[in-house]
Amino acid sequence: MEELKELGAVRQGGVHCLTIVGQIEGHQVLPEDAKATKYEHILPLLAAMEESPEIRGVLILLNTMGGDVEAGLAIAEMIAGMKTPTVSLVLGGGHSIGVPLAVAARCSMIAPSAAMTIHPVRLNGVVIGVPQTYNYFARIQDRIVRFVTEHSRISREDYVRLMTNTDELANDVGSILSGEDAVRLGLIDRLGTLSDALDWLHRQGA
C-alpha cells in the first residue's frame, strides 16, 4: 500500500481517489511549467488498485487539457478493464482525450458547471505530410470514436458530427458540450457532484 501513497492515491475507507489533471504526458515530454499527469505513473497505480483487496471502489477526478493520445487511450483501456467499481467525475473540463477517460469508468458523472470539448486528433500548427500521415491520424481518430461510442450511449453519428462541427469553436473544428448536453446526448451517464459519485460507489459496496 505504500506504493499507492507514493503514486498519489488518496484513500478514505475502501474508496481511493485518483486525480487526472492537466495534459496527459506520454512519450512526448511536456515543458516543466505544464501541469501534467504522467501515464507511466498512472498505469501501475491502476494495476495496484485492482489487485488490492482493501480497495472496493475508485473515484477518478478529471480536469483534462488534452495531451498524448496514445497515453490517454492506454489509461482509458486500463480503467475500462477494471473489475473494481469505478466512477469518473468531470470537474471544470474534459478536453479531447479526457472524453475517453471519462466514459471508461463504469459510471461517468459531470459537474453541472463542467464542459466536454470534442475535436479531431491533430498536432499544433500546420502539418504537411505524405498520405500515410493522414491515414495514421484517421486510424487514431477511429480508435477514439470506437472507444467512446462503445463505452457510452452516444451514437457514432452524433459523436462524429460534434467532432467535425465548424460553427462553434473559433479557428478550430469541434464542439463544447455543457454538462447537461453531455448527459442528454448520452456521452456522460449523469450530472453529479462529489457526494453523488461517492454515494454511487458506496451502493456498489465500497
Residue identified by cell 504526458 is 25
- Return the closest-CA partner of residue 34 out of 140, 124, 147, 168: 124
Alpha helices in the chain (DSSP H): 2-6, 39-51, 69-80, 98-104, 131-150, 156-163, 179-184, 194-203
| Amino acid sitting at position 14 | G
Model pTM score: 0.84
The CA distance from 106 to 83, in Å, is: 9
Grid cell, residue 56, equals 472496493
CATH of the domain at 146: 3.90.226.10
- Return the closest-CA partner of residue 89 out of 67, 116, 121, 68: 116
Of 16, 88, 96, 152, catalytic: 96
Beta strands in 26-85, from DSSP E residues, in sequence order:
36-38, 57-67
182 Cβ contact list (under 8 Å, min separation 6): 110, 115, 116, 188
Of 16, 95, 108, 119, catalytic: 119
Total domains present in the chain: 1
Residue 119 known to be catalytic: yes
The CA distance from 45 to 51, in Å, is: 10
Residue 175 known to be catalytic: no
Q: What is the pLDDT along the chain (206 residues), one digit of tens a residue?
A: 444 444 445 555 689 999 998 888 887 666 666 666 788 889 999 999 999 999 999 999 999 887 888 889 999 999 999 999 999 999 988 877 889 999 999 999 999 999 999 887 765 444 445 555 567 777 888 999 999 999 999 999 999 999 888 877 655 678 899 999 999 999 999 999 999 999 999 999 88
User: Is the separation of the CB atoms in 71 and 27 below 8 Å?
Assistant: yes
CA angle 147/84/61 to nearest 5° reads 65
CA 101, distance to chain mean position in Å, is 2
Residue 42's domain spans which residues?
Answer: 2-203
